[in-house]
Amino acid sequence: MKLPNGYIELLQQKRYSENTIKTYSGYFKDFMHYFEGRDLSQIKLQEINDYILALIQSANISGSEQNQRINSIKFYYEKVLGREKQLINIERPRKEKALPDTLSKNEIRLILDNTANIKHKCMLELIYSAGLRRNEVLQMKLKDIDSERMLVKICGGKGRKDRYSLLSKSVLTHLKQYFIAYKPKYWLFEGLNGSQYSSSSITRVLKRSAMKAGIKKRVHLHMLRHSFATHLLEQGTNLRVIQNLLGHESIQTTEIYTHVSNLELTKVVNPIDEIIDNT
């Protein structure tokens, strides 16, 4: 099924990421299929809300997917057709307040110890030590490693914003070993024939290392970023500094790590200990 004229082109002009373009395109094609044979410009707001409700009830889509599907539809009506925003008032899900999954420092160490390949080790170390998203490490170029100032430059992160994060001395040592062994030309981490390393490959690297390390819980790449933020907070790093390192637009996004950190929890005396100790 072909997307409406200008849909892909406008996404590209507005510099949406490749992943977002792929997601919006797929979800909007689903929308088109649902209303096949209809003039999309004539579909009523209530019909769109009924479509989203049908997805929730039949496919049990998550709140995150619901928002992405709504965004793909709003993009067509507001950006491609140029309609005013207030005319496209699609119902949004209540914001989920799930806490981020994290790994302990010991679990991070076990994963790295069970990653023998120097390229794979550097990738995982850099994601954790700089608090990177998966796409950020994959899009990193050789010139983004600033060994003079011990910084990593992240270009075009979420929201198309650039930022700097930390470059660890230990990670720099491993990166130098990797440079000698692999001699990358353009991308910091290259795939076959100098191409950009794939997201599926780096995901498999982490899962394989976690399995070798004997970690039973589900492990995913974003946990390394979550763990970086949580461990910094536990070390007493200022929340504003963590916000800047992660590239969060709002401090409220960063504050979620205060609910995960053990910094204050470890100071709390559980009342049952006093009860049991006195029996």
Q: Among all residues, which ones are annotated catalytic?
A: 133, 158, 222, 225, 248, 257
**What is the residue whose two structure tokens read 């998203």?**
133
Q: Which pair of tokens denotes residue 200?
A: 């599926």
Tally Cβ neighbours within 10 Å of residue 50.
12
Q: Give the CA diameter of the chain.
A: 76
First to last CA, the chain: 72
What is the CB neighbour count within 10 angstroms for residue 278?
6
Query: How far apart (Å, rounded) are the C-alpha atoms in residues 170 and 130?
Result: 12
Q: Is the dihedral of CA 191, 197, 203, 209 positive or negative?
A: positive
Note whether 123 and 193 are within 8 A (CB): no
Between CA 165 and CA 3 the distance in angstroms is 39
Distances (CA, A) of 125 to 10, 120, 154: 36, 9, 15
